[in-house]
Structure 1
Amino acid sequence: MYQAGIVAVIRGTSDENSYKTAKACIAGNVVGIELAFTSPDAEVTIRRLVHEYKDDTHVVIGAGTVLDSQTARIAILAGAQFIVSPSFSEETAKECNLYGVPYIPGCYSPTEVQDALTFGSDLIKIFPSSLVGSKYISEIHGPFPYVNVMPSGGITLDNIEEWFKNGAFVIGVGGNLVSPGKEEKYELVKKNAQCFSESVYKIKNTNY
């Protein structure tokens, strides 16, 4: 996920819509894919993508909006390589640990971050990141200097550099990347992905 730099958060209108949106992201070199379980048949889409890209080590397929351990298990059995939640759940963390699949919970306070780390999360999602701003990462690195952070929510091409400057490990991007997919404008999704991918490449090759 660190190499990917960006995780596309996809909330499709159907299995086929989610699948084609994910394919467009990957074609645009955004190879971290988070299929939200608010999408219809999300586990079907995950299974399709995992099978199709099983020989491509650069593509990482995971599940998002996982609210409980049962959903986490469904996603894992479908082949999800990581699990993302909007909040922290002890039971979901335990389920992911049982199967050896990374759990990325959404956290907002230092207490939530500490709880997530205690239950084995290697990567923490700061959500909604648009409410706290990019400097939140450098602040949270005060008491937790080694925590890997994935901001998600409100990330744009105009502010993405600030998030990396302040210590983001990887970035989660939703509507600003994939929203054209809901209107089946997959070429536009691909172009958005190319723009985000090129931006991250430049940022990662800049010494701050």
Structure 2
Amino acid sequence: MSRNRHTDLERLFDTGIVGILRGVPAEKTVDVADALVAGGVDVIEVTADTDGALDTIARLRETFDRSEALVGAGTVLDSDTAGAALRAGASFVVTPNFDEEVVRTCNRYGAVVAPGVMTPTEAVNAYEAGADVLKIFPASTLGPGHLRSIKGPLDQLPLVPTGGVSLDNVEAFVGAGADAVGVGSGLVDGEAVANEDYEALTERAEAFRGAIDDARE
């Protein structure tokens, strides 16, 4: 499939939030994604450790036009998985760690790649290797102060804290310099998914978008 790395990056930063689908039953993924998109979260990540992840990525890509939603793969640990996700239709790849081969694979095929980093050294090394975005992980352990400390001397690095971001702290992360955030269970509530309460997911997506917009003002 054709990709536009620059446009996809702009989409991610403009939206300000990546909705992470981890462990969502395959038969519910389209409805869950649709609920998030309705609430303004139009960047959707399907984690590779979810059963049938590649089929889910392909299904979402077929369901949503690129103008409606950007679909990517998360928890990618190696270049083979990255390549498979891209062939399935993923527009971006997110990893929990920095693996140079994964970055190289995504660069080769023009896909946005966001490796996980924790320290300034890891962040700079990953960026120099070709990363488009740096996933600060785990955000719940590091906190907004850590993000602010990295942004101080390295303001040019695009940072996306992920892991433990919630409605209670998302404004603090954005205020500390986050260019976007990755949100899983704080957005895709397991109980709402189990009960097929998609309206609740839309409302949660709207709340996150509102909090991010407020923090950016």
TM score, norm. by length of structure 1: 0.92
Match of 2:211 among 196, 199, 206: 199
Q: Report whether the alignment pairs 1:126 with 2:140.
A: no
State how many pairs are aligned: 204
Partner in structure 2 of residue 190 of structure 1: 202
CA contact (8 A) 1:7 1:32 kept: yes
SS in 1 for 2:152: coil
CA contact (8 A) 1:21 1:189 kept: yes
Partner in structure 2 of residue 143 of structure 1: 153
Paired residue type of 1:12: G
Percent identity, aligned pairs only, is 38
Partner in structure 2 of residue 20 of structure 1: 31
Closer/same/farther in 2, CA of residues 77 and 187 from structure 1, 3 Å limit: same
Q: Report whether the alignment pairs 1:31 with 2:31.
A: no
- Deviations along 1:76-129, one digit per CA (max 9) or x if unpaired, are 011111100011101111111111111101101122112211211121000001
In structure 2, distance between residues paired with 1:176 and 1:139: 25
Map 1:164-175 to 2 at 5 A: 164-175=174-185
Q: Gaps spanning 5+ residues in structure 2: where?
A: 1-11
Post-superposition offset of 1:53: 2.1
CA contact (8 A) 2:30 2:63 kept: no
Partner in structure 2 of residue 160 of structure 1: 170
| 36-45 or 84-93: bigger deviation | 36-45
Q: Gaps spanning 5+ residues in structure 1: where?
A: none
Q: Report whether the alignment pairs 1:176 with 2:165.
A: no
Q: Report whether the alignment pairs 1:9 with 2:20.
A: yes
TM score, norm. by length of structure 2: 0.88
SS in 1 for 2:14: coil
In structure 2, distance between residues paired with 1:198 and 1:188: 15
The alignment yields a C-alpha RMSD, in angstroms, of 1.5
Partner in structure 2 of residue 102 of structure 1: 112
Q: Report whether the alignment pairs 1:87 with 2:97.
A: yes
In structure 2, distance between residues paired with 1:165 and 1:187: 29
Paired residue type of 1:17: K
Paired residue type of 1:11: R
